[in-house]
Amino acid sequence: MNTIKVNSPFDGSLIQEIPLLDEHQVEEKLAKAYALFQDRSRWLKPYERVAILEKTKAIMQTRVEELTKIAASEGGKPYQDSKVEVLRAINGVQLAIEHIGQLKGEQIPMGTTVVSINRWAFTLREPIGVVLSISAFNHPLNLAVHQIIPAFAVGTPVIIKPATSTPLSAIELVKIMKEAGLPEDWAQVVICNRQNAENMVKDSRINYLSFIGSAEVGWNLRSKLSPGTRCALEHGGSAPVIVEADADLSQTVPALAKGGFYHAGQVCVSVQRVYVHENIIEEFTAQLVAKANSLHVGDPMDPKTEVGPLIQTYEVDRVEQWVNEAVTKGAKIMCGGKRISDTCYQPTVLLNPDSESKVSQHEVFGPVVCVYAYSKLQDAVNRANSLPLAFQSAIFTSNLDVAMDAVNQLNASAVMVNDHTAFRVDWMPFGGRDTSGIGMGGIPYSMHEMTREKLMVIKSKVL
């Protein structure tokens, strides 16, 4: 039997070995999900879904510590941040419960023309069909919640393929849902290789693809979708931040340090490119360096750890190569710049990397923050908008007019004013634009996307 080994990203120790499903087993799971959707007698009523989700939430609340340790051990996110993720995940279930009652259609006016008299018209929202969710490693429980719970909440079967490096949280979530009364085939975890995952993506029985991961893989999968299959793709960004001369550095620096080094920078909206006004760049950089140097790096299971390992050792190699390339092209290492071990890399601040270096052109997805000097706001905006990546961005300033000017000009799906780019709550819309993605996440927004409209027109001579 083929298996995958789930190892600790910190020390490589084996956590669990899981069977890898073959082509026939994957087909069986897809067939079950499709058969369930086709048989309306098996569909769950909204109140039944609410009851299961309420029980799911209640069980999760009793297992916060267990879920935290699972997420931290398999994903490497520090214990303190993994606990926050678990609490977010529980709140995500609550958001889905609340939004079930908000899924509604609307009346379409009739009688405004002769041909439309004697009619009433209403739209209804129906579950879209079988949802296939392909997930990333960096938030193993919360991403599973965002890709499983909305689908079930709207009444559609869901198959999730979690990242093979971090499948345990998704498996545990589905176990808890079954303990809460989830009937068979509504939520299934598929641990399989890429080819079998791609086969599912291409299958006409899939009505909706939710993909979180690299742009290269996501856009390639989108091109292989069956006609009519809708999708949401969430890829990475290269989050630009503008810091004006009037910014309050006592608030700005801690926020950007958190946004840049949280989960060792392995977040799709991590602070990466920081454009700082030339009048304050020395002071800003000195404070950011002091903050970076104070961060505790190490074992994610240690409650004191603030920055954990990268998910794989080859990611440490890549980050090291990118930083070295930036230095050869003129960047100055203000702090960090070296690996601590095979799995951990120092929180690193680079000053004025060349615009053509990889750290300036691509998503680093590591604990590296690049600082660039600018003199005029328009120059900073232009440089922030210079990449095809477009996700969340930010500006720090005490001037409301400057803030609004930046919000209007920055090419981003969201602009944070006086907050870091990694800010998120789970009821807000969340997703990239341009090469950073398509479609919108966030619990209520995903629920909307996982339904489709049906129009009903009633003709009566008494109307």
Question: Taking a C-beta distance cutoff of 8 angstroms, is the pair 414, 406 a contact?
Answer: no
Query: Cα(447)–Cα(440) distance, rounded to whole angstroms?
Result: 10
Helix pair 400-409, 377-384: axis angle to 10 deg: 30
From the list 58, 134, 25, 146, the residue with the least C-alpha distance to 96 is 146
Residue at 71: amino acid letter: A
Q: How far is the first Cα of the chain from the last one, in angstroms, to the nearest whole number?
A: 66
- To the query of whether residue 17 is one of the catalytic residues in this protein, the response is no
- To the query of whether residue 234 is one of the catalytic residues in this protein, the response is yes
Helix (H) / strand (E) element for 360: namely helix 358-361
- Catalytic site residue from 192, 231, 244, 268: 268
Going from the C-alpha of 253 to that of each of 246, 291, 304, 323, the distances in angstroms are 13, 8, 21, 22
Question: Taking a C-beta distance cutoff of 8 angstroms, is the pair 276, 372 a contact?
Answer: yes
Cβ within 8 Å of residue 61, ≥6 positions away:
90
> How many other CB atoms are there within 10 angstroms of residue 106's CB atom?
11
* Residue 333 CA to its chain's centroid (Å): 30
> How many other CB atoms are there within 10 angstroms of residue 119's CB atom?
15
Buried b (16+ CB within 10 A) or exposed e, 375-384: eebeebbebb
- Catalytic site residue from 74, 85, 172, 234: 234
Cβ within 8 Å of residue 99, ≥6 positions away:
153, 443, 444, 447
**Own/partner pairs, 379-385, CB within 8 angstroms, 24+ separation:** 380/242, 380/275, 381/242, 381/406, 381/409, 381/410, 383/240, 383/273, 383/275, 383/355, 384/240, 384/242, 384/273, 384/275, 384/410, 384/411, 385/240, 385/409, 385/410, 385/411
Question: Taking a C-beta distance cutoff of 8 angstroms, is the pair 101, 322 a contact?
Answer: no
Catalytic residue set = 234, 268
